[in-house]
A and B are shown apart, each in its own frame.
Chain A
């Protein structure tokens, strides 16, 4: 009994920082509809700023003062981010801001490294709260009790602010109906800025308040963000009480998980998340999303046509050039282009489901990695020949996509995105923690192609054929009746249903097709690298693909491919520099602000303006 209570208290104390960060994220999402991936970075900044302040300000007053000040400082940084990065792109396509916040993550990572150095910092302990209290015979740290007391207080303060103050009521109204608040003459941009300040301050507070239990290190940003997403999604996007309940739920579950299934704590969390979302798709306290609420922002996608003779000739010439690379270029150039081609196919598969299907998947890497693992497992355990294993990669990924899609496709918009994220994290945690089969973090190695493909050049041609082939197949499918049907379900589900189209079935199959193609890319990948590791199916990989699709241009057909080429090339060049993440982050933010239609979309507009391309009939 004593142990049980003590474990419960540990869970509650752990919930504090998680709740602060999650409520900030939830608040920002509720009002601005921005999924702020940089929220973990704000948490990290809170920890570093708090640490710096605590080292300067003495005593208990200095300690608690530092925590509050850290919150304020991070809030100000949040304002800076909102004004400089997000404000220019509120009108960009749905979820485009996501890419910008990813750029912010990169920038903050390098800035933190520059300012605070690489060494992990241990946080100071709270003055006067250094020992334990015995509760039912079990030691409970005093600071844990302080955290347990503070959290409901903050929840109450937030509740009071939102329900009892004028600004709070506006915030709440904006959560319900953004347009209405705008129509009432409230200055929306300052409301957004204010909310961003508050959300960022909460994250900063969370970072500072956990210092006595941990410290500050450069890995905190990404470490907390996946937990925070779990909490926000389980609690319900935009719901602060939901964030509270979910942080307590997750923290307590985690404590008991540690005690009883220590090998599978990660799996447990993601299983809970997947179950909650399957039963209550909008989270515990989330409200149902009305159709069209987050419909496409900005101009409508244009009618499409297969490329004309000139375009085909251009692609043909390009292929010829690529085919000549082994005769003129170095072996590394072939490796680089192989990598880029594989990534292009992966991005094209995401673009297919995202642009043509209007389904934003946050977990697309699960199919890339899933395909790769399918092949690698066959080679490792069944000595399957490479040719057969490579064939099984898209098949395996396609089956996985059928399975995951069956659950996810019932939702739409951000909730669809979040459920795909949940499932991909579930698969990732399985791969990561089921070491006996998957090799866990050490992956599966020695997965090399058959003799006839083992040379760099041979594999280069193979990837060129399969990769470009895959991209062309996807492109063709977009122009086929199935592709049109998919676009029809995106443009108007009601009309589609009323004209004999089974919308969910079409989306499901398209999702599976996208997964299959991602799996093909994964298969190519594993044989080009000779090994596969869980990081190929983690969140970061999914984001890489999302970023290139958005950068390339969502409302275009070739955006994914162009974005992938752009990104991989620039990365290959930038990673040689000392602070490449800073530069890459700035490049991403720059592209997002300057070219909100993506690279292809913006080039097309430029082409039309200078008369190179035929201008489209203007709207209205």
Chain B
């Protein structure tokens, strides 16, 4: 009955033997939900591939080619951890990166701390990664949810709106995003009132019902955190039923091409959103990236493409600075690491390991039958961060 087990063991041994003799490259373990969230993971992967091509064309790092090993975690944290171990111990990866879903990011982060592996959380949105569940081995590239929500709150505070409704997917990222918006808005304008909070289950929104519930609360303004198919349904029902008429709407990430493009000509107009206006980037490293990406892939870039590209840049800079691929060297080099990116120079903060990647904030409009961001500005995150003391008190003692 257990013959199979023996065979597996033998096969696994054979595989590990061949892996050890593979070409001499510096390998990075990349874990993502390539199947279950293909719409978000594919552009990210293409961004990485572009980044790798450029790095390796200019001689790689430490004289060796940089290589990413892409693995699919099926959206399951338990699976992701198994793969992480495999990448590090069998495939010879020097560090880990990846994941979009916050929960997988948190699982890998905890695992990395337990085993002593360096983990660059490229895309996960939960701020717990760097704050309440932060650890010395985990770093994060993507702009924090708190900061993006604070930027929207700043814009909201300038209006007359007093009664707010929120709608966010019912899981940690949604809750963080709503909480951050509330805290920042209350700080700027204590008299605001939150008249209803809607929590549709992720990717299971009942848009008609949500729109009715928000309408019934008669808010002056709406704060939206839904994304993907949920957002599309919410926008359509809301537009049909006139929910957005004469109301200010603030959309976290709504301006990211991943979410705005599928809406096509139905993209909402006049929402204040964070996103990525790739079509409007002025000449400089930002535009160079857009052009290179379009030339390489034949597609327009998404925010994921940019994050993937910047992940490669960060890791290349990290290894170059460390001068070695040893974990201790990488850990030593990461805090304070400066990286030149399409968004200008970013650095990884010493206090919480969060990068200083900022965010584009602007207003949505329709142009040639598609949603775009106009009147946008790129904002640096530092001004919106909690103070170092607050962050220190949030992070677990080390």
Contacts and interface: CB of A to CB of B under 8 A. Distances in A.
Classify A-B as touching or not with yes or no (CB < 8 A).
yes
Interface of A: 3, 6-7, 10-11, 13-14, 109-110, 113, 118-122, 125, 130-132, 138-139, 141, 144, 212-215, 217-220, 223, 254-255, 258-259, 262-263, 265-266, 314-315, 318, 321-322, 325, 328-333, 335-337, 339-340, 432-433, 435, 439-443, 445-446, 448, 454, 456, 525, 529-531, 533, 535-536, 558, 561-562, 565-566, 569, 573, 575-576, 580-581, 600
Given A120-B232, A255-B208, A258-B210, A333 B5 contact: no
B172 A440 contact: yes
B380 interface: no
A446 B38 contact: no
17 contacts: A13-B208, A118-B39, A118-B41, A138-B212, A213-B237, A214-B207, A265-B206, A331-B85, A337-B9, A340-B8, A443-B103, A446-B133, A533-B78, A535-B76, A561-B2, A569-B8, A575-B72
Given A13-B208, A141-B240, A445-B133, A531 B89 contact: no
A442 B128 contact: yes
Interface string B106-124: 1101110110000000000
A10 B208 contact: yes
B98 interface: no
Contact of A340 (B5, B109, B133, B172): B5
A225 B213 CA distance: 26
Contacts of A337: 5, 9
B103 A442 contact: yes
A427 to B, nearest CB: 16
A345 to B, nearest CB: 14
A442 B171 contact: yes
A569 B210 CA distance: 44
Interface of B: 1-2, 4-6, 8-9, 11-13, 16, 35-36, 38-39, 41-42, 71-72, 74-78, 81-82, 85-86, 89-90, 102-103, 106-107, 109-111, 113-114, 126, 128, 133, 170-172, 175, 196-204, 206-210, 212-213, 216, 228-229, 232-233, 236-237, 240-242, 261-264, 266
Taking each of A445, A454, A565, A573, which has the highest tally of chain B beta carbons within 10 Å of its own beta carbon? A445
Contacts of B13: 328-329, 333
A122 B9 contact: no
A213 B207 contact: yes
Contacts of B206: 10, 14, 254-255, 258, 265
Contact of A315 (B2, B12, B41, B229): B2
B262 A213 contact: no
B42 A213 contact: no
Contacts of A262: 196-200, 213
B172 A566 contact: no
A213 B13 CA distance: 52
Given A533-B77, A576-B71, 4 more contacts: A13-B208, A321-B9, A531-B77, A535-B76
A214 B71 contact: no
A259 B217 CA distance: 10
A121 B280 CA distance: 25
A67 to B, nearest CB: 18
A535 B9 CA distance: 28
B74 A575 contact: yes
B39 A258 contact: no
A321 B232 CA distance: 55
Given A531-B110, A565-B8, A332 B86 contact: yes
A14 B241 CA distance: 15
A442 B102 contact: yes
Contacts of A11: 209
Contacts of A569: 4, 8, 11
B241 A139 contact: yes
Nearest to B20: A330
A215 B81 contact: no
Interface of A is mostly: helix
Contacts of B82: 335-336, 339
Nearest to B104: A533
A122 B263 contact: yes
A565 B11 CA distance: 13
B12 A132 contact: no
A217 B86 contact: no
Contact of B171 (A215, A218, A440): A440
Given A139-B242, A335-B86, A14 B111 contact: no
Contacts of B201: 265-266, 432-433
Nearest to A569: B8
Contact of A122 (B208, B210, B232, B241): B232
B81 A122 contact: no
Contacts of B5: 318, 322, 337, 340, 565
B15 to A, nearest CB: 9
Contacts of A336: 12, 82, 86
A329 B71 contact: no
B233 A214 contact: yes
A376 B242 CA distance: 46
Given A213-B208, A258-B209, A329-B9, A219 B102 contact: no
A439 B81 CA distance: 19
A144 B71 contact: no
B107 A529 contact: yes
B109 to A, nearest CB: 8
B213 to A, nearest CB: 4
A369 B236 CA distance: 37
A122 B228 CA distance: 10
| Shortest Cβ-Cβ A-B pairs, 9 listed | A118-B38, A441-B171, A442-B172, A332-B90, A258-B209, A255-B209, A10-B208, A331-B89, A445-B110
Given A223-B203, A318-B2, A446 B110 contact: yes
B232 A215 contact: yes
A266 B201 CA distance: 8
Contacts of B110: 445-446, 448, 530-531
Contacts of A340: 5, 8
B4 A215 contact: no
Nearest to A144: B208
Nearest to A566: B4
Given A328-B13, A575-B72, A441 B103 contact: yes
Nearest to A212: B236
A600 B171 CA distance: 42
Contacts of B75: 535
Contact of A333 (B1, B16, B35, B106): B16
Contact of B106 (A10, A318, A442): A442
Contacts of B102: 441-442
A122 B78 CA distance: 32
Contacts of B107: 443, 445, 529-531, 533
Contacts of A7: 209, 212
A141 B241 contact: yes
A600 B38 contact: no
Given A223-B203, A262-B199, A14 B209 contact: yes
B216 A581 contact: no
B198 to A, nearest CB: 5
Contacts of B8: 340, 565, 569
B9 A530 contact: no
A359 to B, nearest CB: 23
Nearest to A570: B8
Contacts of B77: 443, 529, 531, 533, 535
Contacts of B264: 122
Contacts of A576: 71
Contacts of B262: 119-122, 215
A500 B128 CA distance: 58
A442 B76 CA distance: 12
Contacts of B200: 258, 262, 265
Nearest to B126: A442
Contacts of B11: 569, 573
A113 B107 CA distance: 27
A321 B6 contact: yes
Nearest to B83: A575
B93 to A, nearest CB: 11
